[in-house]
Amino acid sequence: MKKYNCIIIDDDEIDRLTVVSFAKKFQELHILGVFADAEDAGPLLGKESIDILFLDIDMPSLNGLEFRKMAAHVPVCVFITAHPEHAVESFQLDTLDFIVKPVKLNRFTQTMARINDYMELKLKAQLFESSIGGDVIYIKEGHEQTKVKLHDILYLEALKDYTKIVTSAKRHCVLSNIGTLLKEENFNSFIRIHRSYAVQKQYIKKILTNEVLLNNDILIPIGRSYKENLNTLL
């Protein structure tokens, strides 16, 4: 199993120990260091190869957002904070996930699934190649090209600079962020409903308060800032 080096920084002892206990449940994580002060973690940045940051935001002397700027070369950053108002600013700093305290194991497990997906995509470096015929795209997967019909795609899911392309039969991955894909003319049948999701309009069965129900009974969350996008469908 591939191991990922991580560091955990949180000035609250209970929260810090909670994240450590959860991280130890995942064999793919190797904890390089645990810190109560972000400044103490600084020297590790130049000495060790770090794959993942688990960062609190509201900390004395050096907050998590400032530390992320210092550690911009680290591939994955997950903010764990009691202050959800920092979410927008955090995602401007190349954040993979944002967990609001108190941290629960099931939520941490969801984050680990996203991390593993992202690392797998990064390793494979699958590329969005080209599109022809208006309703078909070709995705390079290893040494082969897979043809995917646009009308078979249920939704798109963002993973930093990669995007999952999900059909009812299979999930494909491309090295292109979701915003770039949605600017392509061939993706004009999709609607962005969340920072991390865009769905194909024809597969929307029902619009709920905070979710969209797609065919195959798939529920996709609606982001508060994207609700207006759905008004055109009502």
> pLDDT digits over 194-218, tens only?
999 999 998 999 999 899 999 888 9
Query: Cα separation of 170 and 3, whole Å?
Result: 26
**Higher local confidence (pLDDT), 141 or 87:** 87
pLDDT at 132 exceeding the cut of 70: no
85 beta partners: none
Query: Cα separation of 207 and 99, whole Å?
Result: 25
Domain 4-123: CATH class, spelled out: alpha beta
- Of 2-6, 88-92, 123-127, 226-230, the poorest mean pLDDT is in 123-127
In the chain, where does the domain assigned CATH 2.40.50.1020 lie? 125-231
Q: In this predicted structure, what is the pLDDT of residue 77?
A: 94
pLDDT at 81 exceeding the cut of 80: yes
Place 93 in a pLDDT band, splitting at 50, 70 and 90.
Answer: confident
- CB atoms closer than 10 angstroms to residue 170: 10
Q: Are 220 and 193 in contact (CB under 8 A)?
A: yes
Q: In this predicted structure, what is the pLDDT of residue 126?
A: 41
Q: In this predicted structure, what is the pLDDT of residue 134?
A: 58
Q: Which of 103, 88, 123 is nearest to 55 (CA)?
A: 103
Q: In this predicted structure, what is the pLDDT of residue 54?
A: 97
Q: In this predicted structure, what is the pLDDT of residue 146?
A: 81
Q: Are strands 218-221 and 211-214 parallel, antiparallel or unpaired?
A: antiparallel
pLDDT at 224 exceeding the cut of 90: no
Q: In this predicted structure, what is the pLDDT of residue 147?
A: 82
In the chain, where does the domain assigned CATH 3.40.50.2300 lie? 4-123
Q: In this predicted structure, what is the pLDDT of residue 68?
A: 93
CATH of 125-231, picked from 3.30.870.10, 3.40.50.2000, 3.40.50.720, 2.40.50.1020, is 2.40.50.1020
Instruction: Look at the chain and count its residues.
Output: 234
Q: What is the pLDDT of residues 143-191, one digit of tens each?
A: 677 888 888 999 999 988 888 899 988 888 888 889 888 888 778 889 9
Q: In this predicted structure, what is the pLDDT of residue 222?
A: 92
Q: Which of 6, 226, 233, 14 is nearest to 102 (CA)?
A: 14
Calculate the average pLDDT of the chain. Answer: 86
